[in-house]
Chains A and B, each alone.
Chain A
Amino acid sequence: MPESTDPRELPGADPHTGNRKVDPVTGYETTGHDWGGITELNTAFPKLVIWALVLTFLYSVITWILLPAWPTGRDYTRGLLGLDQGVEAVKGFRDLAAGRQDWMSHFTGENFAALQSDTGLMAAALPAAERLFADNCAACHGVSGQGGPGFPVLSDGYWMWSGDPEAIAETIRFGINSDHPDTRFAKMPAFDWMERSDRSALAQLVADLPNGPVKRHSPAAALFANNCASCHGENGSGGLETGAPSLTDGSVIYGQDEQTVLNTITHGRHGVMPSWADRLSDAQINLLALYVAQLSELSNEVAQ
């Protein structure tokens, strides 16, 4: 423990004058402390550091005066600028929305044909629609609407509920099998009660459907007529009103190889498209519907 604070008795100090060793490189004297060879210089406090401290203190004091800063019990100092981050955030949001208003407001109405024919308006809106699609839809349907296993292709011109913008808007707004009360509903029931051999025969038949019409009078055809035709149609061509997909057009969601079809027949399908009514505005939904409708038109043009 410390024996003495007398500078003359400190290690490194001259025992008579109390002066300490001077460092030959810097010319400063040391503090006299010594820890197994580690010493410290008694350098004067640099002026630069004092100025820097003063400067940052000044910055802070000015900031405290201008902005909300110190709590005072139940309240806080409001600051001369009177800023409130909630108000600022709402204002920023409104300003941005106002900048879009001159073209965005046209999309609140649902006269899709008129909107589609207004090329100037669509040219202004489609870049925004593309980003809306990428931010909200692409995670499942792919950046260019190319779909994936379990997620329908949006760019191929084949539809379960029709490709009109009105129908697409409804799907986006309410979803399919979603928790919205107005949701579209589509369920492929499970046929797990059916004999496995029958299910296999049906799977084989369905897997062959895109190659041509069903041979009538076969046992599998009878099974199809009794169990599948009520939704998918006698020829398996589906129905836009029921959401039952066509089985003949080669367009698939889950796959039309025998194994996948057997899986679908055995366990059923109950895919979900969420409702976007609470997340996107009406104008945004309508704009997206027009964009999605145009996706398949674009791909048709490319095909032709």
Chain B
Amino acid sequence: MTSTLSISERQIGLLLSVLLILLGLTMAAAARHGVMAAHGFMALALGLGLVFILGSAIYDPEPPKARMTRYYDAPTRFGIMMTLVWAMIGMGFGVWVAALLYWPEATPAVPWTSFGRLRPVHTTGIIFGFGGNALIATSFHVLQRTSRARLADSISPWFVLLGYNLFCLWAVTGYLMGSTQSKEYAEAEWYADLWLVVVWVTYFTLYIRTLARRNEPHIYVANWYYMAFILVVAMLHIVNNLALPVRWTAAESFPVWSGVQDAMVQWWYGHNAVAFLLTAGFLGMLYYFLPVRSGRPIWSYRLSIVSFWGITFFYIWVGSHHLHYTALPYWAQTLGMTFSVMLLVPSWASAGNAIATLNGAWHKVRDDATLRFMFVAAVFYGLSTFEGSFLAIRPVNSLSHYTDWTVGHVHSGTLGWVAMIVFGAIYTLVPQLSGREAMASPRAIEWHFWLAVTGTLIYVVAMWNAGITQGLMWRAYDENGALSYSFVESVEAMAPYYLLRTIGGALFLTGAVICAWNCRATMRAAMGEAADRPLAPQPAE
């Protein structure tokens, strides 16, 4: 990290680290005890670590001037590392909570291991830790390659990555200590939310500045998606997290929204987190790594345009389908339902465009597990977007809502689509960034692929069965007009599916651990830097 920075950049980094130490100290001193103080100490520790790293390298020789003619890949490498660390944390907690549902006594009798605290660690660890780091890391790579320009500066990528991971750490450790805003996928408290805004604005600025320096006449599709992801996530995050702190010195706050407006804002946020974090960003990844790995042109430029604008326009409307048959006005539900159905066409156009791109490369799909990850991702993207539109139809939702079908749907998206495309991207990137032809163990990629596909299928099929069983049991009446089943009977009926879900998740986790090991082995055996470089010389700073 430090060897890629000039001496003046190291000095700026040192200054920022000292500011982080001061921030941590202020938080800890003001809060004195509780979650906010613990978080202050975490910021303090991170700042001290950075001061140590930068300080001990402050008089090291300057990096070669030629660095400006190369892409800046060190942040991408760090981001991939964090992606894999969070993959193991997030998926590990996922398997844990899955086991708890099958075997509730698996919880030791201490507060922080209760299901309600562990579950958001799983969701935040996966969505923000695993997904977010993967998006930031790959976006730096894709942005530079498709712009033929080096990142606009060398400090802000590190600020974005380290700051973002500090947010993730604050979030998950806060939940374990019992601190939450009780908003789905937005549980982190107010100061963590504010911190993320600063990080995110820096990210967006860096992206735009680099894009403005591009040496290509056109902006590639992948960049449209990455920008949509960055811009809309900022908007969603700010609006949904508007809150009044109870005190400036404690991790407690009240949202400014209340009642059904709060529910609507929450699910406008919640569904568009799915749309712009878990879909748009990863479509950007797909649009870059799929043609690169398959060596095929994108099948249809026109389809790319229509899908992009279709997805960005329709998705924003559909959040209300999470609130069918609730206090939300009927008209808002109808709009959410109809826009969800219209959304299917641009979604399938994207999936179809990706699969048609593989025309002429099917032999590579057969032989190359990395490309197969991307193919399976595109197929699951198509499957889960169809399922999403289908579940958004009100009468269908009356069966599926509040059941494990929803959980199955989410995981067909996150395991089958998001994680698969991330692994495809990682297996393409890691050897390239290590100056190697291939990963350290190609066989391990095959193992990972089959573990991931088997795990996903077991998980998703078990949850479909579980959800439909629950939905049907809840609405069954006997001939005398009484409910046919008590609620607890529908819980008992879940046991085999919950066991299968745990097994499927454990298989998927095993694959991710193999991936992390393989990436570590590849990075350790690095032969040098990525060979490609911008054609045009970059302006000196």
B341:A36 contact, CB within 8 angstroms = no
- Chain A: number of interface residues, binned into ranges: 35 or more
Chain A: CB-nearest residue to B343: A56
Q: Would you give the 0/1 interface string for B266-306, flagging 1 where the beta carbon is closer than 8 Å to chain A?
A: 00000000000000000000001001100111111111101
A25:B304 contact, CB within 8 angstroms = no
Q: With the chains together, A71 CA to B333 CA distance in Å?
A: 12
Q: With the chains together, A10 CA to B301 CA distance in Å?
A: 16
CB contact between A60 and one of B214, B304, B306, B342 (< 8 Å): that residue: B342
A181 at the interface (CB under 8 A from B): no
B220 at the interface (CB under 8 A from A): yes
B344 at the interface (CB under 8 A from A): yes
Nearest chain B CB to A302 CB, angstrom units: 22
CB contact between A35 and one of B145, B302, B335, B338 (< 8 Å): that residue: B145
Q: With the chains together, A46 CA to B306 CA distance in Å?
A: 11
**Within A8-48, which residues are at the interface with B (CB < 8 Å)?**
10, 23, 25-26, 30-31, 33, 35-46
Nearest chain A CB to B179 CB, angstrom units: 28
- Chain B: number of interface residues, binned into ranges: 35 or more
B8 at the interface (CB under 8 A from A): no
Nearest chain A CB to B67 CB, angstrom units: 19
Contacts of B348 in A (CB 8 A): 52
Q: With the chains together, A123 CA to B132 CA distance in Å?
A: 59
CB contact between B217 and one of A10, A40, A43, A89 (< 8 Å): that residue: A10
A114 at the interface (CB under 8 A from B): no
Nearest chain A CB to B70 CB, angstrom units: 14
A134:B486 contact, CB within 8 angstroms = yes
**Within A45-71, which residues are at the interface with B (CB < 8 Å)?**
45-46, 49, 52-53, 56-57, 59-60, 63-64, 67-71
Known: A42-B301, A52-B348. A33 touches B218 (CB 8 A): yes
Q: With the chains together, A128 CA to B478 CA distance in Å?
A: 9
| Most chain B CB inside 10 Å of its own CB: which residue of A76, A84, A125 | A76
A194 at the interface (CB under 8 A from B): no
CB contact between B216 and one of A35, A46, A138 (< 8 Å): that residue: A35
Nearest chain A CB to B387 CB, angstrom units: 16
A77 at the interface (CB under 8 A from B): yes
B481:A23 contact, CB within 8 angstroms = no
CB contact between B145 and one of A36, A44, A57, A84 (< 8 Å): that residue: A36
Contacts of A35 in B (CB 8 A): 145-146, 148, 216, 218, 220
Contacts of A125 in B (CB 8 A): 480
B341:A40 contact, CB within 8 angstroms = no
Chain A: CB-nearest residue to B339: A60
Known: A64-B338, A68-B331, A68-B334. A49 touches B349 (CB 8 A): yes
Of the stretches A95-103, A213-221, A227-235, A247-255, the one at the interface is A95-103
Contacts of B484 in A (CB 8 A): 131
A85 at the interface (CB under 8 A from B): yes
Nearest chain A CB to B72 CB, angstrom units: 16
B330:A68 contact, CB within 8 angstroms = yes
Q: Would you give the 0/1 interface string for A70-81, flagging 1 where the beta carbon is closer than 8 Å to chain B?
A: 110000110100
Contacts of B221 in A (CB 8 A): 40
**Within B340-377, which residues are at the interface with A (CB < 8 Å)?**
341-342, 344-345, 348-349, 352, 359-360
B62 at the interface (CB under 8 A from A): no
Chain B: CB-nearest residue to A95: B481
Known: A40-B301, A41-B299, A100-B481. A2 touches B218 (CB 8 A): yes
Nearest chain A CB to B9 CB, angstrom units: 27
Q: With the chains together, A4 CA to B302 CA distance in Å?
A: 21
B103 at the interface (CB under 8 A from A): no
A124 at the interface (CB under 8 A from B): yes
B303:A45 contact, CB within 8 angstroms = yes
A36:B146 contact, CB within 8 angstroms = yes
Nearest chain B CB to A199 CB, angstrom units: 29
Nearest chain A CB to B398 CB, angstrom units: 11
Q: With the chains together, A43 CA to B477 CA distance in Å?
A: 54
Chain B: CB-nearest residue to A38: B291
A77:B331 contact, CB within 8 angstroms = yes
Nearest chain A CB to B180 CB, angstrom units: 25
Q: With the chains together, A189 CA to B207 CA distance in Å?
A: 70
Contacts of B300 in A (CB 8 A): 40-41, 43, 45-46
Known: A42-B302, A60-B342. 20 other contacts (CB 8 A): A3-B217, A33-B218, A35-B216, A37-B292, A39-B298, A41-B301, A45-B302, A45-B306, A49-B352, A52-B348, A56-B342, A67-B334, A69-B338, A70-B335, A77-B331, A99-B480, A100-B482, A127-B480, A128-B483, A138-B486
B residues with a Cβ closer than 8 A to A are: 145-146, 148, 214, 216-218, 220-221, 288, 291-292, 295-304, 306, 325, 329-335, 337-339, 341-342, 344-345, 348-349, 352, 359-360, 477-478, 480-489, 532
